[in-house]
Amino acid sequence: MKVVIQLPSLPHYRVPVFRLLAQRPGIELHVTHGFLVELPTDEAGGFSESIDQNYKLPVPWKYWWSRGQIRYATRKRTDVLVLTWNIRFLSSVPALLRARLHRVPTVLWGHGYSKSDTRVRRAFRNAVGRMASTVVVYDPVTARRIVDGDGFDGSRVFVAHNTIDQERILRYRVELESDERRIATFRSEHNLRDPTVLFVSRLLKSNRVDVLIEAVSRLRERGIGVSCAIVGSGPDLLRLKQLAKRLRVDRHVVFEPATYVEATLAQWFMSATAFCYPSNAGLSLNHAMAYGLPVLVGDNLRRHNPEIHWVIEEQNGLLFRQNDPAALERAIERIVTDEGLLQRLQLGALETASELMLDKMVDGLEAAIRGAMSSRTKTP
């Protein structure tokens, strides 16, 4: 069975997913994708790939056109076509129509919702979703919502639990746990003398890293020794550095350029006490919990990505009032002053991570693909 998956880009954390999917019996996998400088990829290996760059349409809003979506919507090129379920890709509609004309089963893969949803966007996304043979989302909460709330046929809705390669992380974690001197040296070299709250991701205003810096400032004003490490690059970097300097905590806020080298990231995660992603959190939560870090996130779940549903209050992390530095201050204080709470959240984080292994995500994708294949003669 030839399967083509179309993506806006091929980020490094997706490569292990597709390698494993390509090993499933009877699946011959090809991935066609665009390219984004800020999301570098690894060598594919184990599956074929091609670049079909996405084109921004000449309209005031951010809408895109993917030639790859339409090119592969034919039986000569694929047996099952998996497309990005994102209404900003206007090429999805003609691709789905062409696939139906050629009797090519289709899968739409995406969040199933938007953080800035409107009634019109939701209606259009659902209409596009119903054109596909099956849809696959990242979490069971969204799956239940589109079945119970939006009227999707439950037999055509699948879940691929979004995650990363936990096994590779486990190897680094075990290695560093047995080498305390190495972590102590790393902390000393990066001026991490106090309990440290870590952030790892793109530096965008929507991620509200400023809330973390302000919370650290408030704690230090009260004599509670806390620092934070911010690993990432992006357009908000200068503003965040200026904020740290203005609040006089620049000596306690470490900025480190973005890296995708897991051996390096492992040392940052293993040197931290907790992980914080104030808004717009996503796969970084899985990453942190795999290293046993409690996660701190804003409590407006609609301002986050599907991975927020893995955060359980008082079990593997703490929720704080969205965009409120004082609320985050209290959450950090609890973690750094209550050893029992910290240990409980650390164990909870590791337990959650153990349930988000790569094969479970691939199981969901494979089920959606085979479900689409079995419905070839049916009308969506």
Tell whether 135 and 202 lie within a shared domain.
Answer: no
Phi-psi region of 59 (alpha: psi -120 to 50; beta: other; left: phi over 0): beta
Both 364 and 226 in one domain: the answer is no
* Chain length of the chain: 380
**What pLDDT score does 61 carry?**
66
**Is 217 in the same domain as 366?**
no
Q: Is pLDDT above 60 for 83?
A: yes
Coil/strand/helix, residue 201: coil
21 and 108 together in one domain: yes
Residues 39 and 125 in one domain: yes
Mean pLDDT over 171-180 rounds to 92
Looking up tokens 């075990």 gives 174
Locus of tokens 């890296």: 259
Angle made by CA atoms 313, 317, 320, in degrees to the nearest 5: 70
* Rounded Cα–Cα distance for residues 95 and 83 (Å): 9
Q: Which of 19, 1, 2 is nearest to 10 (CA)?
A: 19
* Residue 137 maps to a domain: yes
Residues 149 and 37 in one domain: yes
Number of domains the chain is built from:
2
The residues that bridge with 134 in the sheet, in sequence order, are: 107
Q: In 218-236, which positions are buried (b, 16+ CB within 10 angstroms) versus exposed (e)? A: bbbeeebebbbbbbbeeeb
The per-residue pLDDT for 38 is 56
Read off the pLDDT of residues 114-123 as tens digits, 9 standing for 90 and up.
Answer: 888 888 989 9
pLDDT tens digit sequence for 288-310: 999 999 999 999 998 999 999 99
Write out the residue range of the structural domain in which residue 223 sits: 166-354
Q: In the beta sheet, which residues pair with residue 80?
A: 3
CATH assignment at residue 31: 3.40.50.2000
Q: Give residue 6's pLDDT band: very low, low, confident or very high (50, 70, 90).
A: very high
What is the C-alpha separation between 117 and 122, in angstroms, rounded? 6
Question: How far is residue 190's CA from residue 253's CA, in Å, rounded to a whole number?
Answer: 10
- Residue 157 and residue 134: Cα distance in Å, rounded? 6
Q: What are the tens digits of pLDDT across the range 129-140? A: 999 999 999 999
Same domain, 6 and 38: yes
* pLDDT confidence bin for 366, thresholds 50/70/90: very high
Shared domain check, 248 and 110:
no
Same-domain check for residues 20 and 144? yes
Co-location of 57 and 128 in the same domain = yes
Looking at the fold, whether 143 and 228 belong to one and the same domain comes out as no
Do 143 and 179 reside in the same domain of the chain? no
pLDDT tens, position by position, 53-77:
777 777 666 777 888 888 999 999 9
Phi, psi values for residue 246, rounded to 5°: -65, -35
Domain annotation covers residue 380: no
3-state DSSP of 100-121: HHCCCCEEEECCCCCCCCCHHH
39 — pLDDT class (breaks 50, 70, 90): low
309 found inside a domain = yes
Give which of 203, 42, 133, 112 is closest to 369, Cα–Cα.
133
